[in-house]
Amino acid sequence: MRGLDEHRAATLALATPLPTVEVHLLDALGLVLAEDVATPEALPRWDNSAMDGYAVRAADVAAARPDAPVRLRVVADLAAGSDDEPEVTPGAAARIMTGAPVPPGADAVVPVELTATAVTGGAWEPDEGAVLVREPVATGAHVRCAGDDAAAGDTVLRAGALVGPAHVAAAASVGRSTLVVHRRPRVAVVSTGDELVPPGEPLRRGQIPDSNSWLLAAAAREAGADVLRLGPERDDPAALHRLLRALDAGEHGAVDAIVTSGGVSAGAYDVVKAALADEPGVAFVPVAVQPGKPQGLGRLPGGTPVWTLPGNPVSSATSFEVFVRPALLRMRGLVDVERPRVPAVAADSWSTPVGRAQLMPVVRADPGADSGTRPGALASDGADPAAARSGDGRVAVRRATPRGSGSHLVARLAVAQGLAVIPAGVEQVRPGDSLEVFWT
Protein backbone atom coordinates (compact mmCIF):
# COMPACT_ATOMS: atom_id res chain seq x y z
CA MET A 1 0.00 0.00 0.00
CA ARG A 2 1.36 3.44 -0.96
CA GLY A 3 1.86 5.99 1.81
CA LEU A 4 0.08 9.35 1.87
CA ASP A 5 3.21 11.43 1.23
CA GLU A 6 4.40 9.04 -1.49
CA HIS A 7 1.11 9.38 -3.36
CA ARG A 8 1.16 13.17 -2.97
CA ALA A 9 4.61 13.17 -4.57
CA ALA A 10 3.33 10.99 -7.42
CA THR A 11 0.44 13.35 -8.14
CA LEU A 12 2.71 16.39 -8.12
CA ALA A 13 5.08 14.65 -10.52
CA LEU A 14 2.32 14.75 -13.15
CA ALA A 15 2.05 18.54 -12.95
CA THR A 16 4.33 21.06 -14.61
CA PRO A 17 3.81 24.82 -15.04
CA LEU A 18 1.72 25.54 -18.12
CA PRO A 19 2.98 27.61 -21.07
CA THR A 20 3.07 31.38 -20.76
CA VAL A 21 0.86 33.99 -22.35
CA GLU A 22 1.05 37.78 -22.47
CA VAL A 23 -2.16 39.42 -21.25
CA HIS A 24 -3.41 42.88 -20.42
CA LEU A 25 -3.08 43.96 -16.79
CA LEU A 26 -6.60 43.21 -15.58
CA ASP A 27 -6.60 39.86 -17.35
CA ALA A 28 -3.50 38.92 -15.33
CA LEU A 29 -5.40 39.16 -12.04
CA GLY A 30 -5.36 35.78 -10.30
CA LEU A 31 -2.70 34.36 -12.62
CA VAL A 32 0.95 33.66 -11.82
CA LEU A 33 3.77 35.81 -13.13
CA ALA A 34 6.14 33.95 -15.42
CA GLU A 35 8.91 36.56 -15.53
CA ASP A 36 10.32 39.32 -13.35
CA VAL A 37 9.18 42.90 -13.89
CA ALA A 38 11.77 45.68 -13.50
CA THR A 39 11.38 49.42 -13.63
CA PRO A 40 13.27 51.14 -16.48
CA GLU A 41 13.32 54.42 -14.54
CA ALA A 42 13.58 55.57 -10.95
CA LEU A 43 10.32 55.72 -8.99
CA PRO A 44 9.32 58.46 -8.46
CA ARG A 45 10.83 59.71 -11.69
CA TRP A 46 11.51 63.18 -10.24
CA ASP A 47 11.31 64.95 -6.89
CA ASN A 48 7.67 65.83 -6.27
CA SER A 49 5.55 67.42 -3.61
CA ALA A 50 3.89 65.31 -0.90
CA MET A 51 1.61 68.20 0.09
CA ASP A 52 -0.41 71.07 -1.29
CA GLY A 53 1.60 74.17 -0.40
CA TYR A 54 4.61 76.16 -1.57
CA ALA A 55 7.96 74.98 -2.88
CA VAL A 56 10.65 77.02 -1.12
CA ARG A 57 14.30 77.19 -0.18
CA ALA A 58 14.43 75.95 3.44
CA ALA A 59 17.08 78.55 4.28
CA ASP A 60 14.66 81.34 3.30
CA VAL A 61 12.09 80.33 5.94
CA ALA A 62 14.41 79.23 8.75
CA ALA A 63 13.49 82.27 10.85
CA ALA A 64 9.72 82.13 10.22
CA ARG A 65 7.47 82.42 13.28
CA PRO A 66 3.68 82.84 13.68
CA ASP A 67 4.23 86.38 14.99
CA ALA A 68 6.99 87.14 12.49
CA PRO A 69 6.18 85.38 9.18
CA VAL A 70 8.55 85.43 6.22
CA ARG A 71 7.15 86.98 3.05
CA LEU A 72 8.11 85.30 -0.26
CA ARG A 73 7.13 86.35 -3.76
CA VAL A 74 5.18 83.65 -5.70
CA VAL A 75 6.76 83.03 -9.12
CA ALA A 76 4.66 80.11 -10.42
CA ASP A 77 1.61 77.95 -9.89
CA LEU A 78 2.38 74.22 -10.38
CA ALA A 79 -0.42 71.66 -10.68
CA ALA A 80 0.11 67.88 -10.74
CA GLY A 81 1.10 66.98 -14.29
CA SER A 82 2.67 70.36 -15.02
CA ASP A 83 5.96 70.28 -16.92
CA ASP A 84 6.86 73.87 -16.04
CA GLU A 85 10.33 74.35 -14.51
CA PRO A 86 10.38 77.82 -12.95
CA GLU A 87 13.49 78.48 -10.88
CA VAL A 88 12.96 79.23 -7.21
CA THR A 89 15.57 81.85 -6.38
CA PRO A 90 16.30 83.34 -2.95
CA GLY A 91 13.20 85.08 -1.61
CA ALA A 92 10.87 83.25 -4.04
CA ALA A 93 8.34 80.39 -3.79
CA ALA A 94 6.18 78.40 -6.17
CA ARG A 95 2.63 77.42 -5.30
CA ILE A 96 2.53 73.61 -5.76
CA MET A 97 -0.02 70.80 -5.65
CA THR A 98 0.54 67.26 -4.38
CA GLY A 99 2.42 65.19 -6.98
CA ALA A 100 3.73 68.14 -8.99
CA PRO A 101 7.50 68.15 -9.73
CA VAL A 102 9.53 70.24 -7.30
CA PRO A 103 10.99 73.14 -9.32
CA PRO A 104 14.72 73.86 -9.59
CA GLY A 105 16.15 75.74 -6.62
CA ALA A 106 13.49 74.59 -4.15
CA ASP A 107 14.47 72.03 -1.53
CA ALA A 108 11.36 71.85 0.68
CA VAL A 109 7.60 72.29 0.64
CA VAL A 110 5.68 74.39 3.16
CA PRO A 111 2.16 72.99 3.68
CA VAL A 112 -0.51 75.50 2.76
CA GLU A 113 -1.80 75.39 6.36
CA LEU A 114 1.39 77.16 7.49
CA THR A 115 1.06 80.06 5.05
CA ALA A 116 -1.03 83.17 4.24
CA THR A 117 -1.88 86.40 6.11
CA ALA A 118 -4.31 87.24 8.91
CA VAL A 119 -7.57 88.94 7.96
CA THR A 120 -10.78 89.74 9.78
CA GLY A 121 -12.57 86.82 11.32
CA GLY A 122 -9.37 84.87 11.94
CA ALA A 123 -9.26 83.38 8.41
CA TRP A 124 -6.07 83.20 6.39
CA GLU A 125 -5.63 84.27 2.79
CA PRO A 126 -2.51 84.62 0.62
CA ASP A 127 -1.25 88.02 -0.45
CA GLU A 128 -1.63 88.85 -4.10
CA GLY A 129 1.60 87.61 -5.70
CA ALA A 130 3.16 86.73 -2.34
CA VAL A 131 2.88 84.26 0.51
CA LEU A 132 3.59 84.54 4.23
CA VAL A 133 5.30 81.51 5.77
CA ARG A 134 4.59 81.26 9.51
CA GLU A 135 6.80 78.30 10.48
CA PRO A 136 10.18 76.96 9.32
CA VAL A 137 10.61 73.65 7.47
CA ALA A 138 13.68 71.45 7.20
CA THR A 139 15.48 70.74 3.97
CA GLY A 140 13.62 67.91 2.18
CA ALA A 141 10.40 68.43 4.15
CA HIS A 142 7.34 67.12 2.30
CA VAL A 143 9.37 66.20 -0.79
CA ARG A 144 9.18 62.75 -2.34
CA CYS A 145 12.65 62.22 -3.74
CA ALA A 146 13.32 60.57 -7.09
CA GLY A 147 14.11 56.89 -6.55
CA ASP A 148 12.54 56.74 -3.07
CA ASP A 149 10.34 53.83 -4.21
CA ALA A 150 12.74 52.07 -6.60
CA ALA A 151 15.93 52.80 -8.49
CA ALA A 152 16.15 52.34 -12.25
CA GLY A 153 16.60 48.65 -13.01
CA ASP A 154 15.15 47.43 -9.70
CA THR A 155 12.90 44.35 -9.83
CA VAL A 156 9.46 45.34 -8.59
CA LEU A 157 7.66 42.01 -9.23
CA ARG A 158 9.09 38.51 -9.05
CA ALA A 159 8.23 35.54 -11.25
CA GLY A 160 6.04 33.11 -9.34
CA ALA A 161 3.96 35.82 -7.68
CA LEU A 162 0.20 35.44 -7.73
CA VAL A 163 -1.04 38.63 -9.37
CA GLY A 164 -3.28 40.71 -7.13
CA PRO A 165 -4.44 44.33 -7.28
CA ALA A 166 -1.16 45.65 -5.83
CA HIS A 167 0.82 43.75 -8.49
CA VAL A 168 -1.36 45.29 -11.20
CA ALA A 169 -0.69 48.75 -9.75
CA ALA A 170 3.06 48.11 -9.53
CA ALA A 171 3.19 46.96 -13.14
CA ALA A 172 1.24 49.99 -14.29
CA SER A 173 3.52 52.30 -12.27
CA VAL A 174 6.56 51.14 -14.26
CA GLY A 175 4.74 51.62 -17.55
CA ARG A 176 3.69 48.03 -18.24
CA SER A 177 0.30 47.52 -19.91
CA THR A 178 0.75 43.73 -20.19
CA LEU A 179 2.24 40.93 -18.11
CA VAL A 180 3.63 37.50 -19.03
CA VAL A 181 1.86 34.86 -16.95
CA HIS A 182 1.23 31.14 -16.89
CA ARG A 183 -2.14 30.48 -18.42
CA ARG A 184 -4.93 29.04 -16.33
CA PRO A 185 -5.34 25.22 -16.51
CA ARG A 186 -8.51 23.86 -18.04
CA VAL A 187 -9.72 20.80 -16.16
CA ALA A 188 -12.35 18.26 -17.23
CA VAL A 189 -14.37 16.84 -14.32
CA VAL A 190 -16.24 13.59 -14.96
CA SER A 191 -18.55 11.88 -12.44
CA THR A 192 -19.60 8.27 -12.98
CA GLY A 193 -22.34 5.96 -11.75
CA ASP A 194 -25.70 4.61 -12.89
CA GLU A 195 -27.15 5.75 -9.57
CA LEU A 196 -26.43 9.42 -10.27
CA VAL A 197 -29.05 11.86 -11.50
CA PRO A 198 -28.52 15.56 -12.27
CA PRO A 199 -29.65 17.75 -9.34
CA GLY A 200 -33.28 18.78 -9.59
CA GLU A 201 -34.46 15.75 -11.56
CA PRO A 202 -36.91 13.21 -10.06
CA LEU A 203 -35.35 10.28 -8.22
CA ARG A 204 -36.46 6.67 -8.16
CA ARG A 205 -35.41 4.19 -5.49
CA GLY A 206 -31.66 3.63 -5.62
CA GLN A 207 -30.85 6.93 -7.30
CA ILE A 208 -29.13 9.97 -5.77
CA PRO A 209 -28.36 13.47 -7.08
CA ASP A 210 -24.91 13.88 -8.60
CA SER A 211 -23.03 16.10 -6.15
CA ASN A 212 -19.47 15.00 -6.92
CA SER A 213 -19.13 16.65 -10.31
CA TRP A 214 -20.32 19.93 -8.78
CA LEU A 215 -18.05 19.49 -5.76
CA LEU A 216 -14.96 18.81 -7.85
CA ALA A 217 -15.79 21.44 -10.47
CA ALA A 218 -16.20 24.05 -7.71
CA ALA A 219 -12.98 22.91 -6.00
CA ALA A 220 -11.04 23.08 -9.28
CA ARG A 221 -12.40 26.53 -10.03
CA GLU A 222 -11.52 27.70 -6.51
CA ALA A 223 -8.00 26.37 -7.12
CA GLY A 224 -7.77 28.71 -10.13
CA ALA A 225 -8.71 26.41 -13.00
CA ASP A 226 -11.23 26.75 -15.79
CA VAL A 227 -13.59 23.79 -15.65
CA LEU A 228 -15.39 21.57 -18.13
CA ARG A 229 -17.93 19.59 -16.08
CA LEU A 230 -19.23 16.36 -17.60
CA GLY A 231 -21.52 13.67 -16.28
CA PRO A 232 -22.95 11.84 -14.68
CA GLU A 233 -21.65 9.16 -17.01
CA ARG A 234 -23.19 5.70 -17.04
CA ASP A 235 -21.39 2.55 -15.87
CA ASP A 236 -20.32 1.67 -19.41
CA PRO A 237 -16.54 1.11 -19.57
CA ALA A 238 -16.34 1.33 -23.37
CA ALA A 239 -18.31 4.58 -23.52
CA LEU A 240 -16.28 6.09 -20.70
CA HIS A 241 -13.03 5.05 -22.37
CA ARG A 242 -14.14 6.78 -25.57
CA LEU A 243 -14.98 9.95 -23.62
CA LEU A 244 -11.62 10.02 -21.83
CA ARG A 245 -9.75 9.42 -25.09
CA ALA A 246 -11.79 12.20 -26.73
CA LEU A 247 -10.88 14.58 -23.90
CA ASP A 248 -7.23 13.59 -24.24
CA ALA A 249 -7.40 14.29 -27.98
CA GLY A 250 -8.94 17.74 -27.48
CA GLU A 251 -12.29 16.89 -29.04
CA HIS A 252 -14.03 18.87 -26.27
CA GLY A 253 -11.53 21.68 -26.47
CA ALA A 254 -8.01 21.42 -25.10
CA VAL A 255 -7.86 20.24 -21.50
CA ASP A 256 -4.79 20.19 -19.27
CA ALA A 257 -6.03 17.60 -16.77
CA ILE A 258 -8.90 15.21 -16.14
CA VAL A 259 -10.42 14.40 -12.75
CA THR A 260 -12.93 11.58 -12.36
CA SER A 261 -14.97 10.46 -9.36
CA GLY A 262 -16.22 6.97 -8.60
CA GLY A 263 -15.53 3.55 -10.04
CA VAL A 264 -11.96 3.04 -8.78
CA SER A 265 -12.35 0.41 -6.09
CA ALA A 266 -12.55 -3.39 -6.42
CA GLY A 267 -16.25 -3.88 -7.08
CA ALA A 268 -18.02 -5.42 -10.04
CA TYR A 269 -19.16 -2.01 -11.38
CA ASP A 270 -15.99 0.04 -11.00
CA VAL A 271 -16.31 1.65 -14.40
CA VAL A 272 -13.28 3.99 -14.32
CA LYS A 273 -10.96 1.18 -13.39
CA ALA A 274 -12.41 -0.98 -16.14
CA ALA A 275 -12.31 1.81 -18.72
CA LEU A 276 -8.60 2.52 -18.09
CA ALA A 277 -7.44 -1.03 -17.38
CA ASP A 278 -5.55 -1.28 -20.66
CA GLU A 279 -3.97 2.19 -20.51
CA PRO A 280 -0.27 1.61 -19.73
CA GLY A 281 0.20 5.15 -18.44
CA VAL A 282 -2.45 4.86 -15.73
CA ALA A 283 -2.08 2.98 -12.44
CA PHE A 284 -4.60 2.18 -9.71
CA VAL A 285 -3.11 1.99 -6.25
CA PRO A 286 -4.38 1.66 -2.68
CA VAL A 287 -3.18 4.55 -0.53
CA ALA A 288 -2.78 4.25 3.23
CA VAL A 289 -5.25 7.01 4.01
CA GLN A 290 -8.81 7.20 5.34
CA PRO A 291 -10.98 8.33 3.67
CA GLY A 292 -9.74 7.89 0.09
CA LYS A 293 -7.91 4.56 -0.01
CA PRO A 294 -8.64 3.68 -3.69
CA GLN A 295 -6.82 6.05 -6.04
CA GLY A 296 -5.69 6.12 -9.65
CA LEU A 297 -3.44 8.43 -11.61
CA GLY A 298 -1.30 8.67 -14.71
CA ARG A 299 -1.22 10.05 -18.23
CA LEU A 300 -3.41 9.21 -21.19
CA PRO A 301 -1.73 8.56 -24.57
CA GLY A 302 -1.90 12.23 -25.54
CA GLY A 303 -0.09 13.21 -22.35
CA THR A 304 -3.07 14.53 -20.39
CA PRO A 305 -2.73 13.89 -16.65
CA VAL A 306 -5.67 12.05 -15.11
CA TRP A 307 -6.55 11.66 -11.46
CA THR A 308 -9.27 9.13 -10.63
CA LEU A 309 -10.79 9.74 -7.20
CA PRO A 310 -13.17 7.65 -5.08
CA GLY A 311 -16.88 8.26 -5.47
CA ASN A 312 -17.95 8.78 -1.88
CA PRO A 313 -18.29 12.55 -1.36
CA VAL A 314 -15.97 13.02 1.63
CA SER A 315 -13.41 10.77 -0.05
CA SER A 316 -13.64 12.84 -3.23
CA ALA A 317 -13.35 16.11 -1.32
CA THR A 318 -10.37 15.11 0.81
CA SER A 319 -8.64 13.39 -2.12
CA PHE A 320 -8.95 16.51 -4.24
CA GLU A 321 -7.69 18.66 -1.39
CA VAL A 322 -4.53 16.69 -0.61
CA PHE A 323 -3.70 15.24 -4.05
CA VAL A 324 -5.22 17.24 -6.93
CA ARG A 325 -5.31 20.79 -5.62
CA PRO A 326 -1.51 21.05 -5.15
CA ALA A 327 -0.98 19.68 -8.67
CA LEU A 328 -3.31 22.29 -10.19
CA LEU A 329 -1.50 25.04 -8.31
CA ARG A 330 1.79 23.81 -9.70
CA MET A 331 0.29 23.86 -13.21
CA ARG A 332 -0.58 27.50 -12.61
CA GLY A 333 3.11 28.19 -11.93
CA LEU A 334 3.02 28.47 -8.15
CA VAL A 335 5.94 27.09 -6.18
CA ASP A 336 4.37 27.00 -2.72
CA VAL A 337 1.41 24.70 -3.35
CA GLU A 338 0.70 23.41 0.16
CA ARG A 339 -1.72 24.89 2.65
CA PRO A 340 0.10 25.85 5.83
CA ARG A 341 -0.37 23.40 8.70
CA VAL A 342 -0.98 24.79 12.17
CA PRO A 343 -0.55 23.10 15.54
CA ALA A 344 -3.85 22.22 17.19
CA VAL A 345 -5.22 20.33 20.15
CA ALA A 346 -8.09 17.83 20.10
CA ALA A 347 -11.24 18.81 21.99
CA ASP A 348 -12.88 15.54 20.99
CA SER A 349 -12.14 11.82 20.96
CA TRP A 350 -12.24 9.38 18.07
CA SER A 351 -10.64 6.22 16.75
CA THR A 352 -8.35 6.00 13.74
CA PRO A 353 -7.85 3.24 11.13
CA VAL A 354 -5.04 0.81 11.79
CA GLY A 355 -2.02 1.40 9.53
CA ARG A 356 -3.52 4.36 7.65
CA ALA A 357 -3.22 8.10 7.98
CA GLN A 358 -6.51 9.80 8.65
CA LEU A 359 -7.88 13.04 7.22
CA MET A 360 -10.52 14.14 9.71
CA PRO A 361 -12.84 17.04 8.82
CA VAL A 362 -12.78 19.38 11.81
CA VAL A 363 -14.17 22.65 13.10
CA ARG A 364 -12.81 25.08 15.64
CA ALA A 365 -14.06 24.29 19.12
CA ASP A 366 -15.62 26.87 21.41
CA PRO A 367 -12.94 28.08 23.84
CA GLY A 368 -15.43 27.63 26.68
CA ALA A 369 -16.17 24.00 25.87
CA ASP A 370 -15.26 21.13 28.14
CA SER A 371 -11.88 19.55 27.55
CA GLY A 372 -13.53 16.14 27.59
CA THR A 373 -15.47 14.32 24.91
CA ARG A 374 -18.40 16.76 24.74
CA PRO A 375 -17.77 18.87 21.64
CA GLY A 376 -17.93 22.65 21.93
CA ALA A 377 -20.17 24.88 19.86
CA LEU A 378 -19.19 25.68 16.30
CA ALA A 379 -17.33 28.96 15.96
CA SER A 380 -19.36 31.62 14.17
CA ASP A 381 -18.97 32.08 10.42
CA GLY A 382 -15.93 34.16 9.58
CA ALA A 383 -14.38 33.67 13.03
CA ASP A 384 -10.65 33.93 13.43
CA PRO A 385 -9.08 30.43 13.43
CA ALA A 386 -7.17 31.60 16.49
CA ALA A 387 -10.36 32.35 18.41
CA ALA A 388 -10.67 28.86 19.90
CA ARG A 389 -7.38 28.02 21.56
CA SER A 390 -6.04 25.80 24.29
CA GLY A 391 -4.20 27.24 27.24
CA ASP A 392 -0.86 27.01 25.42
CA GLY A 393 -2.10 28.92 22.38
CA ARG A 394 -2.84 25.99 20.07
CA VAL A 395 -6.12 26.00 18.15
CA ALA A 396 -8.69 23.65 19.68
CA VAL A 397 -10.63 21.55 17.16
CA ARG A 398 -13.25 18.84 17.16
CA ARG A 399 -14.77 16.60 14.54
CA ALA A 400 -17.03 18.44 12.12
CA THR A 401 -19.73 15.82 12.67
CA PRO A 402 -20.17 13.11 15.30
CA ARG A 403 -19.88 10.53 12.51
CA GLY A 404 -16.32 11.72 11.89
CA SER A 405 -14.73 11.03 8.53
CA GLY A 406 -17.42 8.72 7.14
CA SER A 407 -16.95 9.02 3.41
CA HIS A 408 -20.67 9.30 2.60
CA LEU A 409 -21.51 12.27 4.85
CA VAL A 410 -22.05 14.82 2.09
CA ALA A 411 -24.76 16.84 3.82
CA ARG A 412 -22.41 17.71 6.69
CA LEU A 413 -19.34 18.24 4.54
CA ALA A 414 -19.98 21.98 4.27
CA VAL A 415 -19.63 22.35 8.05
CA ALA A 416 -15.94 21.40 8.02
CA GLN A 417 -13.45 24.24 8.36
CA GLY A 418 -10.30 22.19 7.90
CA LEU A 419 -8.68 18.77 7.94
CA ALA A 420 -6.73 17.28 10.82
CA VAL A 421 -3.92 15.04 9.57
CA ILE A 422 -3.52 12.02 11.87
CA PRO A 423 -0.34 9.97 11.21
CA ALA A 424 -0.68 6.28 10.38
CA GLY A 425 0.88 5.18 13.68
CA VAL A 426 -1.80 6.80 15.86
CA GLU A 427 -4.59 4.45 16.96
CA GLN A 428 -6.76 6.82 19.02
CA VAL A 429 -7.19 10.56 19.32
CA ARG A 430 -8.03 11.78 22.81
CA PRO A 431 -8.90 15.22 24.17
CA GLY A 432 -5.72 17.20 24.67
CA ASP A 433 -3.75 15.32 22.01
CA SER A 434 -1.59 17.38 19.67
CA LEU A 435 -2.76 17.56 16.06
CA GLU A 436 -1.77 19.20 12.78
CA VAL A 437 -4.57 20.99 10.93
CA PHE A 438 -4.85 22.91 7.69
CA TRP A 439 -7.82 25.18 7.06
CA THR A 440 -9.68 24.56 3.81
pLDDT number for residue 367: 52
Does the 342-439 domain belong in CATH 3.90.550.10?
Answer: no
* CA distance linking residue 52 with residue 71, whole number of Å: 18
pLDDT at residue 121 is higher than 50: no
Averaged pLDDT for residues 409-426: 84
Report the Cα 41 to chain-centroid distance in Å: 30
* CA distance linking residue 391 with residue 411, whole number of Å: 33
Among 310, 348, 373, 376, CA closest to 437: 348
The helix, strand and coil proportions of the chain, stated in percent and rounded to the nearest 5, come to 20, 30, 50
> Taking the CA of residue 166 as centre, how many other CA atoms within 13 Å lie in the half-sphere pointing to its CB?
5
Q: What is the pLDDT of residues 329-387, one digit of tens each?
A: 999 999 999 999 999 999 999 999 999 999 999 999 965 443 333 333 333 333 344 44
Annotated domain spans of the chain:
4-18+184-331, 21-40+153-182, 48-144, 342-439
* CA distance linking residue 399 with residue 357, whole number of Å: 16
What CATH number has the domain spanning 48-144?
2.170.190.11
Q: What is the pLDDT of residues 329-343, one digit of tens each?
A: 999 999 999 999 999
Averaged pLDDT for residues 126-142: 89
What CATH number has the domain spanning 21-40+153-182?
3.90.105.10
Mean pLDDT over all residues of the chain? 89
Give every CB contact of residue 227 below 8 A, 6+ residues apart in sequence: 186, 187, 188, 189, 217, 220, 221
pLDDT number for residue 62: 97
CATH topology of domain 4-18+184-331: Molybdenum Cofactor Biosythetic Enzyme; Chain A (3.40.980)
Averaged pLDDT for residues 59-67: 96
Query: Which of 11-15, 117-121, 183-187 shows the lowest per-residue confidence on average (mean pLDDT)?
Result: 117-121
pTM of the model: 0.83
Q: What is the pLDDT of residues 200-248, one digit of tens each?
A: 999 999 998 899 999 999 999 999 999 999 989 999 999 999 999 999 9
